Structure 1
Amino acid sequence: MSFLIISPKKDPKAWIEALKAEAPDLDLEVYPQVKDPSKVEYVLSWRHPHGIYRDFKNLKVIASMGAGIDHIISDKEIPEHIQITRVVDEQLTKDMSVFVLSLILEHLRNLAQHHSQNEWKPTSYQLPEDTQVGIMGMGVLGVGVAEKLIQNKFNVTGWSRTKKEILGVTTYHGDEQLEEFLRESRVLVNLLPLTSETKNVLQKSLFEALPKGAFVINVARGEHLVEDDLIEVINNGHLAGAALDVFRKEPLPREHPFWKNKKIRVSPHIASITNPVTVVPQILENYERMKEGKELKNVVDREKEY
Structure 2
Amino acid sequence: MTTNVLFLSTPKRWAQYQAPLMRALAATGLDFQLSEDLPPEEVEYIVFAPAGRGVDHDFTRFPRLKAVLSLWAGIETVVDNPTLTVPLARMVDHGLTQGMVEWVTGHVLRHHLGMDAHILGQNGTWNQIAPPLARERRVTILGLGTLGSACGQALASLGFPVTGWSRSAKSVEGITCLHGADGMHQALACADILVLLLPNTPATRDVLNAETLAQLPQGAVVLNPGRGPLVDDEALLAALDSGHLAHATLDTFRVEPLPPEHPFWAHPKVTVTPHIASETRADTAADVIAENIRRGEAGEPLLHLVDRSLGY
TM band (smaller chain): over 0.9
Q: Distance in 2 between matches of 1:258 and 1:9?
A: 32
Alignment: residue pair count: 301
**Per-residue Cα deviation, 1:23-66 (whole angstroms, up to 9, x for no partner):** 46631221xx44x2121121111233613223223322111102
Q: Distance in 1 between matches of 2:280 and 2:228?
A: 18
Query: Which of 23, 31, 38 in structure 1 is aligned with 2:41?
Result: 38
Partner of 2:161: 155
Contact 1:46 1:71 in 2 (8 A): no
- Paired AA for residue 6 in structure 1: L
Q: Which moved more, 1:198-207 or 1:5-14?
A: 5-14
- Taking the TM superposition and a 5 Å limit, the aligned residue runs for 1:234-245 are 234-245=240-251
- Relative to structure 1, the CA distance from residue 37 to residue 261 in structure 2 (aligned partners, 3 Å threshold; closer, same or farther) is same
Q: Distance in 1 between matches of 2:143 and 2:226?
A: 9
Contact 1:10 1:46 in 2 (8 A): no
Partner of 1:278: 284
Partner of 2:238: 232
Q: Which has the higher contact order (CA 8 A, sep 6+)?
A: 2
- Taking the TM superposition and a 5 Å limit, the aligned residue runs for 1:1-80 are 1-8=3-10, 11-23=13-25, 26-30=32-36, 33-34=37-38, 36-47=39-50, 48=54, 50-73=56-79, 75-80=80-85
**How far has the Cα of 1:303 moved from its partner?**
1.2
**How far has the Cα of 1:118 moved from its partner?**
5.7
Pair 1:109-2:106 in alignment: no
Q: Distance in 1 between matches of 2:235 and 2:226?
A: 18
Structure 2 residue runs of 5 or longer lacking an equivalent are none
Pair 1:95-2:86 in alignment: no
Contact 1:20 1:26 in 2 (8 A): no
- Paired AA for residue 226 in structure 1: D
RMSD: 1.8
TM-score under structure 2 length normalisation: 0.90
**How far has the Cα of 1:176 moved from its partner?**
2.5
- Paired AA for residue 137 in structure 2: T
Q: Distance in 2 between matches of 1:120 and 1:300?
A: 55
- Paired AA for residue 168 in structure 1: G
**Per-residue Cα deviation, 1:201-223 (whole angstroms, up to 9, x for no partner):** 12111111111111111011111
- Relative to structure 1, the CA distance from residue 292 to residue 199 in structure 2 (aligned partners, 3 Å threshold; closer, same or farther) is same
- What SS does the corresponding residue of 2:77 show, helix, strand or coil? helix
Contact 2:94 2:284 in 1 (8 A): no
- Taking the TM superposition and a 5 Å limit, the aligned residue runs for 1:108-187 are 108-117=112-121, 119-121=123-125, 122=127, 124=129, 125-187=131-193
**How far has the Cα of 1:10 moved from its partner?**
5.7
**Per-residue Cα deviation, 1:167-207 (whole angstroms, up to 9, x for no partner):** 22111101132112111111110111111211221211111
Q: Distance in 2 between matches of 1:154 and 1:129?
A: 5
Pair 1:265-2:268 in alignment: no
Contact 2:8 2:46 in 1 (8 A): yes
